[in-house]
Amino acid sequence: MIDTHCHVDSDQFDPDREAVIHRALEAGITTMLAIGTGEGPPHLDAAIQLANQHSCFLATVGVHPHNAIRVQPETYPELIRLAKHPKCVGIGEIGLDYHYDFSPREQQHEVFIRHLALAKDLKLPIVIHTREAWRDTIDILKQHWDPALGGIFHCFSEGIDEAREAIDLNFHLGLGGVLTYPKADKMREAASFAPLNRILLETDAPYLAPVPFRGKRNEPAYVVDTAKRLAALRGLTLEELDELTTQNFSRLFSAKLEQLA
């Protein structure tokens, strides 16, 4: 099973990072995609470091919309350099976050668009973070993105209409712990509707732990709890869902994974 979105570099894991990774492997998580946003520029290699240290990690690089304000001209060449690392399979997480508005929206747009250009040049898929900014995110993607390269709407927790829009743009839905929350009926409808070749599992650890760990620190091993819920929802066995989502991941990131093999 694959955790397609985690932040194991987070300082929340400083006391026991190796144990967390060990528990993930014990739980059957063979691959974790470490999201390389870290603390933001100039520190852009958090995920690459994990990928260098552990065979079970792949990495992305990118500037989170929260940190758009910290981008400098030299950030982009550095991102390009890191993206060429053999285990860096995509660009992200990038997008828009109007919930916190930690960076001015205009700057979030500019940084998002620059990342899309960079990902197109490098021919890499993207990982999207969008919160309370659905319409603007879709508009920017329609204008500035090449859907053929693919990507993930991570922590997808919208409804069927939004799922359809994302899938029409050739994206996968990254489904995480929210799927297990009592009030997430709308998202569960979308997760039931999505074509089986468009779904992926994620934790977003250390955030958004699934039931029964809700409210606690999340970790990659808990992706299994979200998987169980999703398998039941789709009428699949856990093994079938595992195989399917693993294939989806391999297909999406095949450009870099084939070079690695």
Sites of contact with Zn ion (CB under 5 A): 35, 93, 129, 204
Question: CB 82: neighbour CB atoms within 10 A?
Answer: 18
Torsion angle (degrees, nearest 10) of CA 192, 195, 197, 203: -30
Nearer to Zn ion, 24 or 35 (CB): 35
In the complex, what is the shortest distance from the CB of residue 44 to Zn ion, in angstroms, rounded to a whole number?
Answer: 15
Long-range contacts from 97-101, C-beta under 8 angstroms, 24+ separation: 97/64, 97/65, 97/66, 97/129, 97/130, 97/131, 97/132, 97/133, 98/131, 98/132, 98/133, 98/136, 99/131, 99/132, 100/66, 100/131
Q: How many CA atoms lie within 13 A of 235 on its CB side?
A: 2
In the complex, what is the shortest distance from the CB of residue 153 to Zn ion, in angstroms, rounded to a whole number?
Answer: 10
In the complex, what is the shortest distance from the CB of residue 9 to Zn ion, in angstroms, rounded to a whole number?
Answer: 11
Q: Say if residues 124 and 149 touch (Cβ distance below 8 Å).
A: yes
In the complex, what is the shortest distance from the CB of residue 47 to Zn ion, in angstroms, rounded to a whole number?
Answer: 11
Nearer to Zn ion, 166 or 231 (CB): 166
Nearer to Zn ion, 46 or 230 (CB): 46
Nearer to Zn ion, 70 or 129 (CB): 129
In the complex, what is the shortest distance from the CB of residue 133 to Zn ion, in angstroms, rounded to a whole number?
Answer: 12
Nearer to Zn ion, 151 or 231 (CB): 151
Place of tokens 């919930």: 99
Which residue's beta carbon is nearest to the bound Zn ion? 129
